[in-house]
Chains A and B, each alone.
Chain A
Amino acid sequence: MTKRLSVFLGALAFVFIACTPGDAGGDKPSFAAGSTMATIQASGKLVCGTKFDVRGFGFKNPTTNEVEGLDADLCRAIAEALGVPPEFVEAVSANRIPFLQEDKVDIVASTMTATEKRRLEIDFSHIYYVAGQSILVRSDSSIASVDDLNGVVVCSGEGSTSEKNVRDKAPTAELFLTKTYTEAGQALADGRCDAVSTDDTILFGLKEQFTDTKIVGGAFTEEPLGIGIKKGKDDLVAFINTTMEAMKADGRMVALYEKWVKAFTGAVPTIPF
């Protein structure tokens, strides 16, 4: 009797394990014990920090409750390669590096510029997009270049490279620092600030969202975007780079550009790695 019960329980346990979402594919890739990939696999999910309010890169759609965009799909591709589902966490400019360092997230794909200073704190994957800082103004604005930002109220993200660039290039601009770019776009649309200055990737999305605006002044910086990984996880960096190379080879990378970037810029960028 006891034996039969234990067989039954064993079978039940087997069914349970077999039904766990991560195993649904069956052919889950295996990694060396102790590697970062094995740890992520054991945790059952890839926790990925993205923006939730940047159209085309990381945007939470209230009709589907899914996070959409290039950053989000990169996370999905990496999660798929690991054989686990992705879990999205909102990573805004101010908190994304702390999130990585404190292991609140496994990776950050959050329109993050791979700067030399940040490379001292965290590691980056291959550059997947080269953005440039630009300026978004209301359609009727006379602001035409970065020099015109002097003396007006400029919205930018708290803790972003954009904020620093504005301080360097337009020293008398009055900064209105927001936690998210939606707030910045909202403030521009409301007239609480006169310009939003940050990466064109974000501005494209804001222009879409707040229609009575225009992008001016061209790109006055070069912002290479990479996926952020905590220092000391070299194996994960290598794994992500390999995954991205595979996506380049089989056309998935270009497909993502077609899907997300082309709508804003009208062109499919060349793959920068």
Chain B
Amino acid sequence: MTNPQVAIRRRRVDGRLVAVAIVAGLIVAGFASGAFPPERWQHFLLLTTWTFLGQGLLVTLLMGGVSLVLALVIGIPLAMARASLTGPIGWFISGYIELIRATPILALLLIIFLGLSRVGIDLPAIQAAIVGLTIYNSATIAEIVRAGIKSIPRGEVEASRSLGLSYWKTMRLVVLPQAISRMMPALVSQLITLMKDTSLAFILGAQELIGFGRSFFTFYGNVLETYIVLAVIFFLINYPLSLVSRRLESGRAPNERPAAIPGGGLPIA
């Protein structure tokens, strides 16, 4: 008797192989038919190309990394404040988080970049982008963390409080460790969004991956090919992250998933 579970999995894998073969076949056919002229691709074989684009990639990764750390440092306390503070201060924090989450990040970046300089604070494009990405992502992360905290049954909090643990000890020893592991999939998804959003710094004039890419195709005249390569670079960063996010999610029983996180942290692009 074959295990139906295994049979289904095997069919899936075969399908994937066929799909990969189809895509690969299309690419080969593209080159063969002259739709992808090789002289527009050959510059990607040069070492100088990769040291050049590599500098831009470094800036992109740096922007993403620094913004992530800062957003976590601000977002987690913000979530705890929102979960525990009541009255006007609590409303203010909630309102702030909701407003920032409703703001298009590009509008936020432009207003910060152009507005701060009008009040005498001078920030180059990359730093302004980091400030904007941090503000936006700290609000998003605060929402993810809040949903994580809320998903811990009240009974556990009450039980630890009645055992004599202080509020902060309860948070630190009981609530946060569980909450963090529950919100990891959503956090990793948010990191993907953040990495994609770094590209908007290009509109401020930051010389990041796309900026270097633009100089590159300006020189060699291979614009479509360069955009494909830029997209593939982003894909190679983000796809592994999305696999990690999914792995974390599927390793968890459905009732442990915080329902309040939209689609397990799915969209909000």
Contact = CB atoms under 8 A, between A and B. Distances in A.
A272 to B, nearest CB: 29
Interface in A178-231: 179-180, 182, 186, 209-210
A92 interface: yes
Interface string A57-77: 001111101000000000000
Contacts of B207: 52, 90
Interface stretch (B14-22, B163-171, B190-198, B218-226): B218-226
Contacts of A182: 214, 218
Secondary structure at chain A's binding surface: helix, strand, loop or mixed?
Answer: loop
Interface residues of B, number: 21
Contacts of B52: 62-63, 65
Given A62-B215, A98-B114, A104-B117, A209 B221 contact: yes
B250 interface: no
Interface in A71-106: 89-90, 92, 95, 98, 102-104
Nearest to A92: B205
A102 B117 contact: yes
B117 A209 contact: no
Interface of B: 48-49, 52, 55, 114, 117, 122, 124, 203, 205, 207, 211-212, 214-216, 218-221, 223
A172 B176 CA distance: 63
Given A53-B215, A92-B205, A98-B117, A65 B55 contact: yes
A102 B122 contact: yes
Contacts of B55: 65
B218 A209 contact: yes
B221 to A, nearest CB: 7
Contacts of A52: 207, 215
Given A53-B218, A62-B49, A209-B218, A95 B205 contact: yes
A98 to B, nearest CB: 6
B115 to A, nearest CB: 11
A63 B48 contact: yes
A149 B219 CA distance: 29
A89 B122 CA distance: 14
Interface of A: 52-53, 59-63, 65, 89-90, 92, 95, 98, 102-104, 179-180, 182, 186, 209-210
A60 B217 CA distance: 11
A39 to B, nearest CB: 15
Contacts of B117: 98, 102, 104
A49 to B, nearest CB: 10
5 closest A-B pairs (Cβ-Cβ)?
A: A102-B117, A60-B215, A62-B52, A62-B216, A62-B219
A53 B214 contact: yes
Contact of B219 (A63, A103, A104, A179): A63
Contacts of A63: 48, 52, 219
A61 B212 CA distance: 10
A205 B15 CA distance: 50
Contact of A104 (B122, B216, B221, B223): B122
Contacts of B211: 90
Contacts of A95: 205
A102 B215 CA distance: 26
